[in-house]
């Protein structure tokens, strides 16, 4: 680690590591500087030329992404020259941009729009109307659509496939204002992390086929959560919205930066796993395929518990929140039931890779292990109470608390999915993360904790 030194930015003093990138300090200290091509995960490429700052002793403005902090550095991000440069370069970005914001999915979360509001509001001097025409809707593969006209050629996407996934599907072809992003000849964008380029793209050039045209982003509400696709624990945002007269719906998962877990990214499987939360959901209380009222069901539940006292096994899903698992453990002790959580069923070696995908596809199995819950796959008990575990262990009688529909004809209680409640998860690397409640359904299913309260009342 290099020495920490003091530098002056816009007259204010800051402490930074000697030799670190100036732009990192500006981003960290929330000092406004526009940039397209720089990204903490991809390093500096220096092509957009937007992050120009004045450095005392330097004749010309310098790009902050390729400036390394040295002793006695005086930085100016706001003087007239810098502002003119930023405005001028932004105008150049716009000359061939289609400015089709009204039909662009990125509108509302677009760097070009934001920078225009910050640096570009002026009378344009563009007196030529003809723009360079490119392809507006190219299907790159892996749910990624490319609009070459909106592209600012920051090369974040191509650098992602070069430096992060090492799959090299994307490149820039053509020169000058004819340059455009494209897949390599004969190839498609095809890797397990492809959709991250949509997040990386600062403008509306790369959009998700899954999300595009479904919502205006400014209507979306966002909750912080953790992906349940495997035990890696990638931090995510859940973007959702409840339209009038409709139910609260998830429109997308986006990776949320956490340098200890997933950095900036998540896999496409995890990203698209939101869909499973909205289909085939268990909504009603069922007993032998007949609907029951809550009171009837609780009565039935209690009868069975009494009937099979000392003869009950509880199976718990390793994807549940820590709070839920602990509550179930407490309940198991209370009714003197055996508690198991077979983990084998979550193992999926084919899913594993050396980036973010883990073969153990249970988001909270570390908590199961910490609480010493048995990893047994069989039971001699005559009653099984299953808390959303996917395994098919049979017994004389069965009570299930399920998020999704099943073929079972036994007593079934619908429960809230992870997006519909809040809680804690521990990743495979032992990192604890919190999930916020995102979804507020019109007819919410109770959480496991709420059900346990009801059946004990």
Partner 1 sequence: MRDCRLVSRKFDIKNSFKIDIAKEHGAYKTLDKAYALKPLEIVEIIKESNLRGKGGGGASAGDKWALMPQESDKPSFLAVNCDESEPGTFKDRQIISKDPHLLIEGILITCHAIKAKHAYIYIRGEYKQYQDILQTAIDEAYSDGLLRECDITIHRGAGAYICGEKSALLESMEGKRGHPRLKPKQKEPEWFFDNPTLVNNVETIASVPFIVQNGAQAYRDFGTEQSPGTLLFAMSGHVQNPGVYEAEFGTSMMEYINHFGDGVKNGKKLKAVIPGGVSCGVLTADECENLTLDYEALRSIGSSLGTGGMILMDEDTDMVEALKNILEFYHEESCGQCTPCREGTGWSDKIVAKILAKKGTKEDIDKLFDLADVMNGKTICVFAPSVSVVIVSFITKFRDEFEAIL
Q: How far, in Å, CA of 225 to CA of 97, rounded?
A: 35
As measured in angstroms, the least distance from the Cβ of 52 to partner 1 is 7
Q: How far, in Å, CA of 9 to CA of 22, rounded?
A: 10
As measured in angstroms, the least distance from the Cβ of 36 to partner 1 is 8
Considering the complex, state which of residue 91 and residue 300 has its C-beta at the smaller distance from partner 1: 91
Considering the complex, state which of residue 44 and residue 227 has its C-beta at the smaller distance from partner 1: 44
- Tell me the HSE value of 446 on the side-chain side, using a 13 A CA sphere: 14
As measured in angstroms, the least distance from the Cβ of 218 to partner 1 is 28
Q: How far, in Å, CA of 246 to CA of 77, rounded?
A: 47
Considering the complex, state which of residue 29 and residue 177 has its C-beta at the smaller distance from partner 1: 177
As measured in angstroms, the least distance from the Cβ of 137 to partner 1 is 22
Contact 25, 75 (CB under 8 A): no
Considering the complex, state which of residue 96 and residue 338 has its C-beta at the smaller distance from partner 1: 96
- DSSP letter for each residue of 69-111: --TT-EEESSSHHHHHHHHHHHHHHHHT----GGG-TTTTS-H
Point out which residues bind partner 1 (CB under 8 A): 44-50, 52, 59-61, 66, 68, 85, 88-89, 92-93, 95-96, 125-128, 130, 132, 152-153, 171-172, 174-179
As measured in angstroms, the least distance from the Cβ of 89 to partner 1 is 6
Considering the complex, state which of residue 61 and residue 120 has its C-beta at the smaller distance from partner 1: 61
Considering the complex, state which of residue 132 and residue 455 has its C-beta at the smaller distance from partner 1: 132
Considering the complex, state which of residue 85 and residue 329 has its C-beta at the smaller distance from partner 1: 85
Non-local CB neighbours of 173 within 8 Å, separated by 6+ positions: 179, 180, 182
3-state secondary structure of 434: strand
- DSSP letter for each residue of 148-178: TTT-----HHHHIIIIIS----EEEESSGGG
Considering the complex, state which of residue 151 and residue 266 has its C-beta at the smaller distance from partner 1: 151
Backbone dihedral angles phi then psi of residue 300, each to the nearest 5 degrees: -60, -45
- Tell me the HSE value of 344 on the side-chain side, using a 13 A CA sphere: 9
As measured in angstroms, the least distance from the Cβ of 159 to partner 1 is 12
Considering the complex, state which of residue 36 and residue 265 has its C-beta at the smaller distance from partner 1: 36
Considering the complex, state which of residue 153 and residue 197 has its C-beta at the smaller distance from partner 1: 153
3-state secondary structure of 219: helix
- Cα angle, residue 157 at apex, residues 24 and 356 outer, rounded to 5°: 80
- Measured between alpha carbons, how far is residue 171 from residues 180, 205, 267, 349, 450 in Å? 8, 14, 21, 32, 53
Structure tokens belonging to residue 83: 């502002």
- DSSP letter for each residue of 383-411: EEEEES-------SEEEEEESB--S--SE
What residues form DSSP beta bridges with 225? 236
Q: How far, in Å, CA of 94 to CA of 116, rounded?
A: 9
């Amino acid at each position: 680690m290099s020495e920490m030194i003091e530098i002056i930015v816009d007259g204010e003093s800051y402490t930074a590591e000697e030799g670190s990138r100036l732009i990192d300090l500006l981003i960290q200290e929330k000092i406004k500087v526009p940039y397209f091509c720089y990204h903490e995960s991809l390093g500096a490429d220096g092509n957009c030329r937007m992050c120009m700052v004045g450095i005392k002793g330097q004749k010309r403005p310098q790009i902050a992404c390729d400036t390394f902090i040295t002793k006695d550095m005086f930085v100016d991000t706001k003087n007239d020259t810098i502002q003119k440069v930023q405005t001028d370069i932004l105008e150049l970005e716009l000359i061939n941009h289609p400015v089709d914001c009204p039909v662009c999915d990125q509108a509302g979360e677009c760097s070009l729009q934001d920078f225009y509001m910050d640096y570009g509001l002026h009378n344009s001097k563009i007196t030529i109307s003809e723009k360079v025409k490119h392809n507006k809707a190219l299907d790159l593969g892996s749910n990624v659509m490319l609009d070459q006209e909106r592209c600012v050629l920051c090369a974040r996407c191509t650098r992602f496939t070069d430096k992060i996934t090492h799959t090299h599907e994307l490149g820039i072809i053509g020169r000058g204002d004819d340059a455009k992003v494209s897949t390599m000849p004969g190839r498609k964008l095809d890797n397990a992390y492809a959709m991250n380029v949509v997040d990386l793209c600062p403008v509306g050039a790369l959009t998700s086929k899954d999300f595009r045209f479904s919502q205006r982003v400014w209507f979306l509400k966002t909750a912080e959560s953790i992906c349940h696709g495997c035990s890696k624990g990638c931090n995510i945002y859940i973007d959702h919205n409840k339209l009038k007269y409709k139910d609260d719906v998830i429109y997308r998962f986006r990776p949320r930066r956490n340098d200890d877990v997933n950095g900036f990214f998540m896999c496409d499987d995890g990203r698209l796993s939101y869909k499973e939360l909205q289909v085939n959901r268990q909504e009603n209380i069922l007993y032998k395929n007949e609907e029951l009222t809550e009171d009837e069901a609780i009565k039935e539940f209690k009868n069975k518990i009494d009937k099979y006292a000392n003869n009950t096994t509880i199976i718990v899903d390793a994807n549940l929140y820590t709070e839920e698992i602990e509550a179930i453990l407490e309940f198991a002790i209370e009714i003197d039931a055996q508690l198991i959580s077979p983990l084998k069923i979550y193992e999926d070696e084919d899913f594993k890779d050396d980036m973010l995908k883990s073969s153990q596809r249970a988001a909270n199995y570390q908590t199961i292990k910490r609480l010493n819950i048995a990893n047994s796959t069989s039971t001699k008990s005559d009653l099984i109470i299953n808390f959303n575990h996917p395994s098919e262990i049979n017994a004389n009688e069965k009570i299930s608390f399920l998020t999704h529909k099943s073929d079972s004809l036994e007593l079934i209680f619908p429960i809230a999915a992870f997006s519909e409640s809040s809680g804690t998860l521990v990743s495979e690397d032992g990192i604890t993360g919190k999930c916020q409640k995102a979804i507020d359904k019109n007819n919410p299913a109770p959480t496991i904790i709420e059900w346990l309260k009801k059946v004990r009342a």
